[in-house]
Structures are given as structure tokens and as C-alpha cells.
Amino acid sequence: MSDRSTPSDGLSALCEESSSRKVLILITASICTTLYSVTVTIVNIALPQLQGALSATPDQIAWVITLNVVATAVVTPLTGWLVANLGQRRLMLITVAGFAVTSLFCALADTLEILILWRVGQGIFGAPIVPLSQAILLATYPGRDRARAQGFFGMAVILGPAIAPAVGGWLAEAYDWRWIFFLITPFCIAAFFLALAFIEEGGRNDDLRLDWTGFLTLSIAIVCLQLMIDQGERYDWFESGRILVFAGSMLLFFYLFTVHNATARDPFVNPMLFTDRNYIVGLVLVLIYGMLNFTPITLLPPMLQGLKGYPDSLIGTLIGMRGIGMVIGFFLAGRLGNLDPRISLSIGIVLTGISGLMMAAFEFDVPPSKIAIAAVIQGIGGGLMWVPLTIVCFATLPSRFLSDGSAIFHLLRNFGSSIFISISVMIVVRTARINHSGLVEGIGPFNEALRLSSISGAWTIEDISGLSQLSAEVERQSSMIGYENAFLLYAVVCFSILPLLLFVRIRGR
């Protein structure tokens, strides 16, 4: 008998090959994107150790996070232009390789300034990875498959950050903080070879020109805003000439960017993007999502170690519970995929707000189980929000705007993270200082409680040892109030976005 193949067999094999290729592209994009998100969660665990090793204050050590995110936010809008000039395959290889090198130099840094420099480098090389991966997936998975691919993409991306805190906490405790950066290197190598094998050439457009005026004015405005918020509390805000210069420069360059973008022939940000109502609402939502996403994992490690004395490994495990919650949230979002996306968004927002209220109610005797429950609830909320948020934002956006739209989408997500982390650290420092002053006013020889040994214990104003212990307790109490205020603000911001969902337009309704 002769072995003959029919046209239908050939078509079936071709479809199967195409489907397998899509899956491999999805896996590659997910792993590459995980690189950046891992560095955020894994570094946060070591913030207390970094603060001591590099002799930094709480607001200074926060620069390790915020300036990395600012660098990401500034470079993210360049993704479309970089793809047009380099192609999506070459750009992915360059960014992954650069990310590997800068991560290695972060591990070798011996001063805060050098570490911040290489963290900025991580942000620069990591910035195009997320929007590029998402744009590749949006083009690879059109139609009904898009929601499923985005769900897998989101779930895969958070698995790394979910595991990273526990592993990073163990490494920091067993060895030191440098190993959290050494850990990233082998994953970068694996991602590089996957991209080399499966990311296809595409996206080149030699006719595309970058609006350098728009890019530079927007970048300078963003950096000035971040520096103003980062250093405002330290230099007494607008009583300082430095802060006035930052504020004036921010306003000037935002104005120049707005005027130039509205009048330029080929502006840096295409104004046609903002004719889509869903996209505009999605940008506001993703800005606030970015504000909510990384703030708790930045505030919790120094609070748990500084005020409760938790070891790095336990802090990493508790932070990692958030990742478990996000896996659950992404699974539930996939199950609710056929329903109105506003339902998942509403549930996610409410759950995230509840977790903020739970964290705002933490006391010194809060058990680890309660911290873990709050982290899981927050993770479920974040997972439920991400997939419908992406669908809402890009549901009605024309395909020719996907690359630029994805870049602005992730710029605002990163910008929201960096700004709100700085605001939250400012709230902690400022309200702790205010409450410290208030608590100190009640300490004196006329305070009857300090005369009762059953109440005061080792606290006393009679000798140096007692005064030292009393001062330490006042510092601890005021700091805890500062953290509670920051988490309360977190919850308020979360609940405040619920009315925005009324402006979301559902296709076909």
C-alpha cells in the first residue's frame, strides 16, 4: 500500500505547528517579563539589610526601588521606536542581555550610589521587556484566544515574584543581600536563549521617527516630579530652594510637553490614542493599579523587621503569600472571563481595599497568620483586576495603536508605582515624626503612669537606662502609627476608583 497524505492532513499538521509555535512564544514572553517583576519583589525583602549594610536612611534606601521604577517609566514609551529601529527579536535579545549584566553589577556594588546607578540600568534595560512581550502576545493571539493567553501570561509572570520573596529572604538571611542579584543571572541566560530560538523578526519600520523633543520634555518632567516627592520631606518641602527648582522644572516641562505634543506633526504620544474612551479609563485604572501593586511589599519588610524583629526568611514567606493569592485571582479571572469585566474589576478592587484596611489595623502583637491572610486577599484582588483591566483598556483600540498604547499603559503603571511608594514612605516618616512629638509631650515627672512600676515596667525617667528604653518605645509606637496611616491611605485610594467603572463601555452593549 502506498502511503499518501491528503491536503487535510497537511493543513492539520500546519495548524498544529502554528499552535505549538504560539505556545512557545507565550512561554518565552512570560519568562522574559518575569525577569523584571522578580527584581522588584526580591529586592524589597532585603531593604532592611541594605539599609544597614549601606548606612542609609529609610527614604534613601527607598531610592533603590523608586529610581529603578522611574528609569523604567522613562524608557518604556521608547519601546515602539526601538522596535521600529531594531526589530522585536533583536530588541528582546539586547534588553535581556543588558538586564543580566546590570543585575550582576548590582550584586558587586559596595556603596548606595553605585547600587542605585546599576538599579537605574536594570530599569533602562528592563523597561521594553514588558510592553514588547505584551505587544507580541496581542499580535500572536487575536480574537477569543487573547483573554486566555493574557490570563496565562499574567499567571506565569506572577509565579516568579511569588516564589522570589521566600527564596530571596532565605538567601539574604543565609548569606547576604548580594545573592538576590546573583540569583537572577541564570534566569537571564535561559530567557536569552529562549528569545533567540522562538521570538521572530518583525516590527521594523525605517520610516518611523522619534519625537525627541516630546520624549525629553516628558522624561525630565517625570524625573523632576519623582525627585520632588522623594526629597521633599528631607528638605522641608517648599521651604527649600532645591524643591522649588524641582517643582518649577516639573511644571515647565509638563507644559512644554503638552503644547508640543498637541502641535507637532508626529508627536511622541499619538493624540488619537485618547479618542478611545475605554483606553482613557483603562489608563486611569492602570495608574492606580500601579500605585496599589508594589507599595505593600515595599512597606512591609522594614516594618516587620524593624518593629517586630522578623527574620528575612519569614518576611519573604509572608510576602510570598501575596503571589499565591494572585495565582488564585488569575484563575478566578479566567473563570469569570465570559462575564462583564467590570464584575471582576469590582471584586478585585474591593478585596484589595479590604486588605489595605486589614494592614492599617496591624498592631505589634499581630500574628504572622493575619499578615499572611491580608497578603493572600491582596493578591487575589490584584489577580482579579489585571486580566479584565487589560481587556478593557485594549478592547476597542485599533490594532495599529497596540504598540504605542501598550507602552503608555505600562509607563503609567510604573509611574504610579514609583510615585505612590514615595508618597507612602513620606507618610510613614512624616506622621511618625508628628506622633513622636505628640507622645513625647506626655512624658514627664507629672505623668502618674510612669510612677507605677506595674504599668511602666523598665520605662523610667529616673535613670539613663530607663530613659533609653522609654525613648525606643516611643520611637516604635510612632513608627507603627506612620505605617498604619500609609496603609489607610492605600485603602482609601483603592476604594476611590470604583466609580470609574461606570465609564467603561462594553462592546455590543
- Is 492 inside any structural domain? yes
| Per-residue pLDDT at 6 exceeds 60 | no
Regarding whether 72 and 221 lie in a shared domain, the answer is no
The parent domain of residue 72 ranges over: 21-210+268-438+476-503
- Is 6 inside any structural domain? no
C-alpha gyration radius of the chain: 25
CA 331/CA 146 separation, integer angstroms: 15
pLDDT in tens, 32-87: 888 777 776 677 777 777 877 777 776 677 778 778 877 887 887 787 788 888 88
Task: Give the mean model confidence (pLDDT) for residues 330-338.
Answer: 76
- Is 445 inside any structural domain? no
Q: What confidence score (pLDDT) does residue 509 get?
A: 45
- Is 5 inside any structural domain? no
Regarding whether 134 and 101 lie in a shared domain, the answer is yes
CA 187/CA 164 separation, integer angstroms: 12
Regarding whether 320 and 254 lie in a shared domain, the answer is no
Say which range, 220-224, 419-423, 468-472, has the weakest mean pLDDT. 468-472
Those residues whose C-beta lies under 8 Å from the C-beta of residue 471, and which sit 6 or more positions away, are none
- Is 41 inside any structural domain? yes
Q: What confidence score (pLDDT) does residue 283 get?
A: 86
Regarding whether 217 and 162 lie in a shared domain, the answer is no
User: Where does residue 507 fall: left (phi above 0), alpha (psi -120 to 50 degrees), or beta otherwise?
Assistant: beta
Yes or no: say if 128 and 91 are a contact pair by the CB < 8 Å rule.
Answer: yes
Cell numbers representing residue 330 in the block: 488569575
Neighbour tally for 285: CB within 10 Å? 24
Number of domains making up the chain: 2
pLDDT in tens, 360-382: 888 877 888 898 999 999 889 98
Task: Give the mean model confidence (pLDDT) for residues 10-38.
Answer: 68
Those residues whose C-beta lies under 8 Å from the C-beta of residue 457, and which sit 6 or more positions away, are none
- Is 485 inside any structural domain? yes
Regarding whether 170 and 119 lie in a shared domain, the answer is yes
Regarding whether 417 and 318 lie in a shared domain, the answer is yes
**Of 122 and 151, more confident:** 122
Closest CA to 203 of 30, 77, 86: 86
pLDDT in tens, 195-242: 887 777 776 666 667 778 888 888 888 888 888 887 777 777 777 888
Percent above pLDDT 90 for the chain: 6
Regarding whether 396 and 285 lie in a shared domain, the answer is yes
Task: Give the mean model confidence (pLDDT) for residues 314-338.
Answer: 80
Q: What confidence score (pLDDT) does residue 158 get?
A: 63
- Is 149 inside any structural domain? yes
CATH of the domain at 30: 1.20.1250.20
Flag whether the pTM goes above 0.95. Answer: no
* Residue 97 exposed, middle or buried by CB count within 10 Å (0-12, 13-18, 19+): middle
Among 267, 288, 315, the domain-final residue is 267
Yes or no: say if 467 and 461 are a contact pair by the CB < 8 Å rule.
Answer: yes
Helix axes 402-441, 129-140, angle to 10 degrees: 140
Those residues whose C-beta lies under 8 Å from the C-beta of residue 291, and which sit 6 or more positions away, are 416, 417, 419, 420, 493
Task: Give the mean model confidence (pLDDT) for residues 304-313.
Answer: 77
pLDDT in tens, 121-150: 888 888 888 778 877 777 777 666 666 776
Regarding whether 324 and 179 lie in a shared domain, the answer is yes
Regarding whether 52 and 40 lie in a shared domain, the answer is yes
Among 267, 293, 310, the domain-final residue is 267
Closest CA to 187 of 318, 28, 298: 28
Yes or no: say if 351 and 378 are a contact pair by the CB < 8 Å rule.
Answer: yes
Cell numbers representing residue 61 in the block: 534606601
- Is 71 inside any structural domain? yes
Regarding whether 303 and 317 lie in a shared domain, the answer is yes
Q: What confidence score (pLDDT) does residue 159 get?
A: 65
pLDDT in tens, 425-469: 888 888 888 877 776 666 655 556 555 554 555 555 566 666 666
Those residues whose C-beta lies under 8 Å from the C-beta of residue 339, and which sit 6 or more positions away, are none
Task: Give the mean model confidence (pLDDT) for residues 274-279.
Answer: 80
Task: Give the mean model confidence (pLDDT) for residues 478-503.
Answer: 87
| Per-residue pLDDT at 481 exceeds 70 | yes
DSSP secondary structure letters along 355-405? HHHHHHT--TT--HHHHHHHHHHHHHHHHHHHHHHHHHHHSSS-GGGHHHH
Regarding whether 387 and 421 lie in a shared domain, the answer is yes
| Per-residue pLDDT at 322 exceeds 80 | yes
pLDDT tier, 507 (very low <50, low <70, confident <90, very high otherwise):
low
Regarding whether 381 and 359 lie in a shared domain, the answer is yes
pLDDT tier, 488 (very low <50, low <70, confident <90, very high otherwise):
very high
Closest CA to 286 of 134, 401, 414: 414
Closest CA to 243 of 220, 226, 257: 226
Percent above pLDDT 70 for the chain: 83
Among 267, 294, 310, the domain-final residue is 267
Question: Is the torsion defined by CA of 137, 142, 145, 148 positive or negative?
Answer: positive
pLDDT tier, 7 (very low <50, low <70, confident <90, very high otherwise):
very low
| Per-residue pLDDT at 11 exceeds 80 | no
Q: What confidence score (pLDDT) does residue 351 get?
A: 92
Q: What confidence score (pLDDT) does residue 354 get?
A: 93
**Of 231 and 115, more confident:** 115
